[in-house]
Amino acid sequence: MFSSFMLNTWIVASMVAVIAGIVGFFVVLRGATFAAHALPLGTFPGAAAASLLGLNPVWGLVVFAGVGVLGISELGRRQRHDVATALTLITLLGLGTLFLSLSSQYSQSVYALLFGEVLGVSRADILPVAVAGGIAAAVILLGFRPLLLSAASPELGAARGVAPRVIELVFLGAVGLATAVALPVVGALLVFSLMVGPAAAARALTARPVLAMAASVVIALGTVWSAIALSFETNWPVGFFVGGLGAGSYALSKTGAAFLNKASRGRTQKTFP
Amino acid sequence: MFAAAGFFSSAPVQTALVIAGGAAVVSGAVGVFTIIRGSTFAGHALADVSSAGGAAAFLFGLSPLLGFLGMAAVAAGAMGMAGERRAAERDLLTGIVLGAGLGVTALFLYFDVTSRSTTGAAISVMFGSMFAIPPGMAPLAVSIGAAALVVIGLIYRPLLLSSLDPGLARVRGVPVRLVGGLYLLVLAFAVTLSAMTIGAILSTALLIGPAAAALRLSRRPDFAILLAMAIGIFACFCGIWLAYDSYDWTPGHGWPVSFFIVTIIFVIYLLSGLAR
């Protein structure tokens, strides 16, 4: 499991987990779950489009992610956010079906692009993931306070000079960048599961922002590591384990938090009758 | 342009027209409520998750209808646990269910590929193939769609009131929770029906696009529903006709019908913004 050809997988998957944990914290806090699902899913046909034009697939992914970010924020000006996201998603996917059908040899890789090919990570994948993921994480960490403020209260944030539209664009840009680079390695659907499950579990455990973000990263790392190990042992797709473990950790910490709440309330009642 | 000889006499085209038209009518009615209630994500997620049932049915050789509908009903039940809370909270639970459902899809597709050596399963489950609908499925699909329409018609007024203003609806004695649950079930069935026949992408496109355009053109819900149905049918029929015609553009290789329908819907949506 830890032989040399698996080393790249462990490195890249760990980096992706850290980035997803950091970005995912704000995805959950801002209620941007739909955007976090739509960006990777709408971005994946970009690889097919690029290969049709004879370019490196990463460029296609970056362009599609950029179009998705602009589409969501531009359509979101005059339309409710979930509707704008859905319209952007279907338009990108509609274009995607065209490119996928035109480049017929690409249909084989659709499964890998959707569900990930974690065991086929090469050494050349490490650098792009590290650079782009580092930028995405740096943007989120540098904008930590304004992002937090505008998530908690957009009006208060605007009053303090944080323009909601700029924040939105920066945030979606970070999500798009993180997905475009992580996508060929872990798959469009896995990026999403990894961003939402662990972060939601962390938020159920604690309300303190810094602690919750750290917990989100730790849970994401745990999810990815056990998913790869399980996938290696069973030969089942890694996406199944990430999706299942993500939902499982959320359910577990939700019930755990409810149990602790009840216990602590019971204790206070005993101490102060 | 009119080279599409034998368009209406081709049996696959007839089936596609009936199924897509039916999906457009049901999606138009359900879609207007979906937008008013802010349940767009749930509508899209149900289509994606139900494909896990499709992949499972494919593996076990069951009726795909059973697989799709069963999975969608389970997912709708899980999402319904969020109840009528804040939209962000609902979206989070929807996302968790979607993540788990997609994981299951990955597993079943993997089994499909390894045990039946069909590499095309991922594509046909995600994108659908309108010209490959078995003709026997049409009556069944139409009756499920009709049932969904009847339920919407029966709960029309309480559903509208509780979608617009849950607080007021509760005061007026509307069982908001029950109506919300019924709506989610109808949404699951409508979305599944179209996901199964025309693919997950088009299912979301037909649910959201025409209804969003219609609600920009008319503020009255009943007008908006009729308008959404008309836009959906128009987009589907034009799209199917163009896709049929495209076999002549690039010899021997048609363009995907989803591309045409989605593009037409998006253009109509953009145009509807000018009308206001």
The H or E element spanning position A130 is helix A126-142
pLDDT at residue B1 greater than cutoff 50: no
- Better-predicted residue by pLDDT, B184 or B86: B184
Q: Which residues of B touch A255 (CB under 8 A)?
A: none
Asked if A152 is an interface residue toward chain B (Cβ–Cβ < 8 A), one would say: no
A237 near A116, Cβ under 8 Å?
A: yes
Angle between helices B176-198 and B40-60 (to 10 degrees): 50
**Nearest residue to A118 via CA among A182, A61, A34, A66:** A182
Of A86, A108, A247, the CB nearest to B208: A86
Q: B126-152 pLDDT, tens per residue? A: 555 556 666 667 777 788 888 889 999
Give which of B91, B144, A83, B66 is closest to B152, Cα–Cα.
B144
Position B212 scores a pLDDT of 92
Interface confidence: ipTM more than 0.95: no
Kindly tell me if the per-residue pLDDT of A214 is higher than 90.
yes
Give the closest-approach CA distance of A272 to chain B in angstroms: 33
Name the token pair of B134.
């078995």
Q: Using CA atoms, how far apart are residues B206 and A90, in angstroms rounded to an integer?
A: 10
Measure in Å the smallest separation between the Cα of B28 and chain A Cα atoms.
15
Residues 6+ apart with CB under 8 A from A181: A58, A61, A128, A129, A132, A133
Residues of B in Cβ contact (< 8 Å) with A104: 253
Upper half-sphere CA count for residue A167 (Cβ side, 13 Å):
25
pLDDT beyond 50 at A271: no
Whether B199 shows a pLDDT value over 80: the answer reads no
| pLDDT, position A206 | 86
pLDDT given for residue B10 in this prediction: 73
pLDDT value at residue B85: 61
Q: Do B95 and A196 touch (CB under 8 A)?
A: yes
Q: How far is B253 from chain A (nearest CA, A)?
A: 9
User: Helix axis angle, B11-37 relative to B176-198, nearest 10°?
Assistant: 150
pTM, rounded to two decimals? 0.84
Helices marked H in chain B: 11-37, 40-60, 64-80, 87-116, 121-127, 137-154, 156-164, 166-171, 176-198, 200-217, 221-245, 257-275
Rounded Cα distance between B37 and B39, Å, is 5
Q: Which helix (H) or strand (E) is A204 found in, with range?
A: helix A188-205
Mean pLDDT confidence for B229-233: 94
Range name among B43-57, B64-78, B113-127, B210-224 with the lowest pLDDT average: B113-127
pLDDT value of residue B209: 92
Cβ atoms within 10 A of the Cβ of B149, count?
18
Q: How far is CA B201 from the centre of its chain?
A: 8
Query: Where in chain A are the domains?
Result: 4-271
Task: Give B118's pLDDT tier (boundaries 50, 70, 90).
Answer: low
**B7 in contact with A, Cβ within 8 Å:** no
* Contact residues, A window 176-235, toward B, CB-based 8 Å cutoff: 189, 192-193, 196-197, 200
For chain A, what percent of residues have pLDDT higher than 70?
90
Nearest to A243 among B100, B256, B269 (CB): B100
Span A141-166, average pLDDT: 81
Q: Of residues A260 and A62, which shows the higher confidence score?
A: A62
Name the CA dihedral angle for A93, A99, A102, A105, rounded to a multiple of 10 degrees. -100
Average pLDDT over residues B160-183: 86
Q: Residues 201..230 of B with a Cβ closer than 8 Å to A: which?
A: 201, 204-205, 208-209, 212
Task: Give residue B226's pLDDT.
Answer: 94
- Report pLDDT digits (tens) over B70-113: 888 888 888 877 665 666 677 888 888 888 888 888 888 777 77
Three-state secondary structure readout of B105-142: HHHHHHHHHHHHCCCCHHHHHHHCCHHHCCCCHHHHHH
Domains, chain B, ranges and CATH? 11-269 (1.10.3470.10)
CATH superfamily of A4-271: ABC transporter involved in vitamin B12 uptake, BtuC (1.10.3470.10)
Q: Is pLDDT of B11 > 60?
A: yes
**pLDDT value of position A222:** 93
Q: In chain B, which residue's Cα lies nearest the Cα of A203?
A: B92
Distance CA B187, CA B36 (A): 13
Per-residue pLDDT at A31: 83
No. of H helices and E strands in chain A?
13, 0
CB contact under 8 A, A239 and B208: no
The pLDDT assigned to B116 comes to: 60
Q: 């693919």: which residue's tokens? A: B199
